[in-house]
Structure 1
């Protein structure tokens, strides 16, 4: 009976009539919230007294969505972003449905007797209710719900429980996961802690990328991590899309010979042949402007997004994960804090050097030039950046050279694979899970289990 009701609930609530959706011009630039501002809005909350403004917001939400308080008891506001607000709520009808999404319940039942497993659960069960703003386009909302539905059985990915629509208001019901604010623990994480963090993150990305889906907004606030359980879940697929969505051929996918031919016969090459400076513009440029998806969060976008590659793939999420690792190793959050795409390119240039950025731009059929004298051609090594950020550099040349520890060196080797400017050479999520930096997390876990077994014996 419960199974039948669950199927009925899903079929009823997930239907969105296409004839009611207006075709709109696709948005190519969706700026997600500032990572520093969002971090303080993802903390766990309980039944304790909440702010008056939040209480009033909950009342307005319940008034605008008739009947929702009969199914859920809204408790607190736990997240607020550019496109949605998230509330913690108690599921009042939990025992009326099958709940395969409930990881904690599955774990507890492993150690319960068969009789107890059949009994209805008496403890409160919490969910996260995501209220999607009515200003979001119908196609964006439909896309997010469809992707979440496709990912419902994926490891370390927040599944969609159900969704409701009342007039022009849409809410998605998701599991509530206990986690800590990234700012509370990122400066204290050891290399061993980082291995566990990224084992969980890349497990999620492997599941998402296996279905040819780009998350597009990987950042600490979208990966809800519980350090005590060494478990995290990837959330917020509001900017996600399927690979090959609105692709147009980019020079980066051409054979090397054809790419070199195009470069040698480009407007840029003709400008150089005329004796002008590389940064000068042709007198008459009849080329159309280049449009590409630039969705995401400032500081987490890879070079190919900033340079407007028109054939972006899942490797953009790998770069974003690399920025998180750089943040953890450098103890600086946010590490990049640019105002726009130009600033972001210059931030990357200061690290990777002008030559690398020129080469990457040409790879995508673009030209990159800067006359800022402080930027070198070769840039700086990531080891040097981390030592400088953590205050381990000295101007005294008589002192012994400071180096990273062995574990840190291994982490940096992994970081180079993540922050590879050429997306075609960047490591995949599957390969990342086989990298020594991650596999040692599995070895440590097995050692801990063996130690527990010895104690039990």
Structure 2
């Protein structure tokens, strides 16, 4: 993969205006808004004019936009490129770290590389190869089981590559793993949220890891997908713009009774509390006072006075690992493996997105409905978190769950001793992490998973159209179980996953 960092003078040549208008004749069919965006990009980074013909915008997010363009090569051949335009407010260090991830780890093993980078003042455009790809949702239920196996194998290859360099992607999901079904080509994209492990080989990730925590937290709070939020191209459901944060304080185990006192500071996650007078009044509250807002819809001054645990929580709702949802300060490459497990769960069940929660507590409750409440509570203890749940929900049999949702029955014998499947309808969980869940929130916890139950019986697949789904081996669900291990310390790694019996006859 060729990697060039270009440096051009900032002056715009007089003839470029004429070229600029000429290059836009092909965009006559584009909407006026997209045309205007393309014009603004040419104006912001005039070096692009003589190199690329921007065809269309294929995605946008809060911090960047992505365009499809062609470059005229010396051979006369036009090569398609993806141009990622980072808006001026993006932190320079983050941009540099993303580029270093692409240049060091990218270009092989299904990891996207970078070809060029253009800069004009505070505008940066990263140029990458363009991989024409299918929308995951469009092809999900037409994939054969063998295609799913190949997909996961190639995803693990990409994760093994970046984890080798000490890169935690932090936003693994289908729209960030491009897939060309016809050519069987894959690409892991978007390292805007990447974070380094303690021994990372990406020097700039070490620097971003030590940035000011408050600045990073503010960046996370408004981070959105680049391609995932709004797609303009049926083949382009890709990149997500992201961020990383510094881990600051280790978690502490607190007695359940005292934990209730800490809880209400964040119980009303959708309610805004004035930061001025309320917090000033709270600052003088003694720590041994008992709060009076437990299980109510307000936050008292005692709870407002307590320090909040701050930890990285970037990523996409539905794909965040339990240690991310519970704000565990120590997060490793295992969070990428959990996200890969959620992708695998969608592929095996035919449901995407599998989880969709409006907040972290609801997301954790939904995980419990599949992995079990006792198991989740026990796993949380291993990384220093106390989780409260008012009812016991058993873990589900993963094969039974996936076959029910997909509407298939495998001829393979199910493993003995597995927990009996529980109805997805029984998914309401009063759950708390450092706080109890508000009653009105509990009703919402069932909505998404209940929709699975409603649609499960509607999926009728004829035996002739099974495409291998009636022959799913136990190894598939064993691998899924290891990916969705609630304990990050024992969760399977990408290297181990590639050696799993599920891929026994596949070549590296």
Is 1:167 paired with 2:121? yes
Distance 1:292 1:204 in 2: 26
Higher-helix-fraction structure: 1
SS class of match (1:146): helix
TM-score normalised by length of structure 1: 0.70
Unaligned runs of 5+ in 1: 1-5, 14-45, 96-120, 252-261, 396-403, 444-457
| Stretches of 4+ aligned residues off by more than 6 angstroms | 276-282, 284-287
Is 1:10 paired with 2:75? no
1:407-418 map, 5 Å: 407-418=472-483
Deviations 1:109-151 (A, max 9, x none): xxxxxxxxxxxx3321111110012232222222212222222
Q: Aligned in 2, Cα 1:278/1:247: closer, same or farther, shift over 3 Å?
A: closer
Distance 1:388 1:278 in 2: 40
TM-score normalised by length of structure 2: 0.64
Point out the more displaced range, 357-366 or 338-347.
357-366
Compute the displacement of 1:278 (Å).
12
Distance 2:152 2:382 in 1: 30
Residue 81 of structure 1, aligned match among 61, 66, 69:
61
Distance 2:315 2:261 in 1: 34
Distance 1:233 1:367 in 2: 38
Distance 2:64 2:110 in 1: 22
Residue 321 of structure 1, aligned match among 322, 333, 340:
340
Unaligned runs of 5+ in 2: 9-25, 199-208, 210-245, 266-287, 291-302, 410-420, 424-468
Partners of 2:369 and 2:394 within 8 A in 1: no
1:92-171 map, 5 Å: 92=72, 94-95=73-74, 121-171=75-125
Partners of 2:262 and 2:306 within 8 A in 1: no
Distance 2:153 2:364 in 1: 29
Partners of 1:195 and 1:441 within 8 A in 2: no
Residue 71 of structure 2, aligned match among 91, 98, 101:
91
Partners of 1:306 and 1:345 within 8 A in 2: yes
Compute the displacement of 1:219 (Å).
0.6
Is 1:439 paired with 2:439? no
Distance 2:147 2:76 in 1: 35
Partners of 1:249 and 1:311 within 8 A in 2: no
Q: Aligned in 2, Cα 1:184/1:48: closer, same or farther, shift over 3 Å?
A: farther
Compute the displacement of 1:441 (Å).
3.8
Point out the more displaced range, 164-173 or 53-62.
53-62
Compute the displacement of 1:185 (Å).
0.9
Partners of 1:143 and 1:241 within 8 A in 2: no
Residue 254 of structure 2, aligned match among 267, 274, 284:
267
SS class of match (2:54): strand
**Aligned length in residues:** 352
Relative contact order: is structure 1 or structure 2 higher (C-alpha 8 Å, sep ≥ 6)? 1
